Amino acid sequence: MKSLSSTGFAILGAALVAISYGLARFAFGLFVPQIRDALELTPYAIGIIGALPLTSFLLSTVVAPFVTDHLGARNTAVLSGLFGVGGLGLISQASDALMLGSGVFACGICTGLMMPALTAAMQAMVRRSLHGRVSSVMNAGTSIGVIVAVPTVLFMVGAWRLAYLSFAICTAIGVIAAWWFLPSVSRIVPSNAAPPPPLPELPWSRLVRLSLFAFVMGFVSSAYWIFAPDLVVTLGGLSPASTGWLWLAVGIAGLGGAVVADLADRNNPPITHALMLMMLAASLALLAASPAQTLLAAFSALVFGLAYMSLTGLYLMTGIRLLPGRLSVGPVLPFMAVSLGQATGSPLVGKLVDAFGYATAFSMFAALGILVAILSPFYPGHIEHGDDEEEQAAEEDTGLQAAYDHQLQNEEGEPLADPEEDETQKPAVGA
């Protein structure tokens, strides 16, 4: 393994996330119009296929902590990349729905394994005081991957097979980088860290509410991720190449999501959650109302990208904070709920499009988003304390880095100090 600085690791992590999330997962919707025409698929079939990588993401995420503990960060990341190479290669050669579905299913496994592997590597290679900053850079990789996919649509119109083949080559390069730079060990924790709270003492009410809100957000967002490009082509009459501008807008706006999420956690999470979910719902309604207007469609994509990435960032921080000491569960629990919502919503959107058309289907999902946004006062915000000084300290101790600081605690329940040296650390045997 070649050693990396914290900055170097953040850049590598962002690149691997860009490949596994941006190219292997979220780029699919960008090519739906071309794939649908080439393979003669119905919207319902596209909805089913679009749900497959989300389903495989859930399955792989469940086993990812155990895989990472046994194989180590390097081998897990390499395994993830190999699934990505295989899946993207299958998509590039797909001749029917079965082969296409197999490819996107493999891509979902790639996505589910990558982030736990990178999280384990970060625990081993990066000081805890920098985890928030490094995680923010890595999370931005999703937007970067979406942006990288755009030129393939703008300049390779109709060449979706070649585009996916180029994605597979990029992923193969990522596999080599993961093997060369990531550590072979599992994540490490200080030996003086307190064990995680027992299951009965977890804040189950807050965890359930977080999961439900994340599920609904994923459910509503599935319409945009899978069908937005096909909507502007089918309903708006725009060219397939013009859909690239949608994903470019999504990616650019998504880069600001981490900042918004951090500000939300520092101020009022329920209110910000309501605002972002309203914006996400509005992006669906705006796209359905003006699919032929390129500028309005691009504006809806900007709104969607900012809202989606802000919400996922907020869910990430809440999940980490509610599950201290559980290094492999806190960061992924809300993403599992989001993906479950997307896997459930994708085929339903396709069915509604077949039955009522794009405008009605998107309007229904937008209405659901607005309804749930009204319930955002129930979103699990900061834990209230009886003492005013404790409340003030809790308000100051917010943001992504603060969430990571509280992930490991001492026996008194205080954040574990970041040691200057590594003598007190040892390999973790579990999470």
pLDDT score recorded for residue 222: 94
| Separation of alpha carbons 37 and 378, rounded Å | 44
pLDDT tens for 192-237 read: 565 666 666 678 889 999 999 999 999 999 999 999 998 998 888 8
* Side-chain half-sphere CA neighbours of 92 within 13 A: 18
Give the CA angle between residues 203, 262, 200 to the nearest 5°: 10
- Whether residues 265 and 175 share a domain: the answer is no
- Tally of CB atoms within 10 A around 256: 16
- Whether residues 165 and 242 share a domain: the answer is no
If one compares 388 and 8, the residue with the highest pLDDT of the two is 8
Answer for the pair 96, 158: CB distance below 8 angstroms, yes or no. Answer: no
- How sure is the predictor about 419, in pLDDT bands with cuts at 50, 70 and 90? low
pLDDT score recorded for residue 68: 87
- Whether residues 172 and 297 share a domain: the answer is no
pLDDT tens for 237-279 read: 888 777 888 889 999 998 887 777 677 766 788 998 999 999 9
- Whether residues 119 and 25 share a domain: the answer is yes
- How sure is the predictor about 408, in pLDDT bands with cuts at 50, 70 and 90? low
pLDDT tens for 283-302 read: 999 999 988 888 899 999 99
If one compares 195 and 333, the residue with the highest pLDDT of the two is 333
If one compares 29 and 382, the residue with the highest pLDDT of the two is 29
pLDDT score recorded for residue 317: 83
| Separation of alpha carbons 386 and 252, rounded Å | 42
- Whether residues 26 and 162 share a domain: the answer is yes
- We report the CATH number of the domain holding residue 246 as 1.20.1250.20
pLDDT score recorded for residue 426: 43
- Whether residues 226 and 78 share a domain: the answer is no
| Separation of alpha carbons 28 and 21, rounded Å | 11
Give the CA angle between residues 376, 377, 381 to the nearest 5°: 95
Q: Which residues pair with 409 in a beta bridge?
A: 415
**Structural domain count, the chain:** 2
| pLDDT score of 398 more than 70 | no
Among the three residues 186, 213, 242, which one is the final residue of a domain in this structure?
Answer: 186
- Whether residues 296 and 390 share a domain: the answer is yes
Which residues, at least 6 apart from 328, have a Cβ–Cβ distance to it below 8 Å? 64, 65, 68, 116, 119, 120, 187, 431
- Whether residues 54 and 161 share a domain: the answer is yes
- Whether residues 31 and 164 share a domain: the answer is yes
Residue 98, in any domain of the structure: yes
Quick check: helix, strand or coil at residue 70? helix
- Whether residues 218 and 179 share a domain: the answer is no
pLDDT tens for 138-188 read: 888 888 988 888 888 777 767 889 999 999 999 999 999 999 999 887 655
| pLDDT score of 96 more than 60 | yes
Answer for the pair 52, 214: CB distance below 8 angstroms, yes or no. Answer: no
| Separation of alpha carbons 144 and 177, rounded Å | 18
pLDDT score recorded for residue 170: 94
Residue 194, in any domain of the structure: no
Q: DSSP states of 321-386 as a string? A: HHSTT-TTTTTTHHHHHHHHHHHHHHHHHHHHHHHH-HHHHHHHHHHHHHHHHHTGGGS--SPP-S
Domain that holds residue 317: 201-408
pLDDT score recorded for residue 429: 39
Phi, psi of 174 (to 5 degrees): -65, -35
| pLDDT score of 319 more than 50 | yes
Among the three residues 159, 186, 213, which one is the final residue of a domain in this structure?
Answer: 186
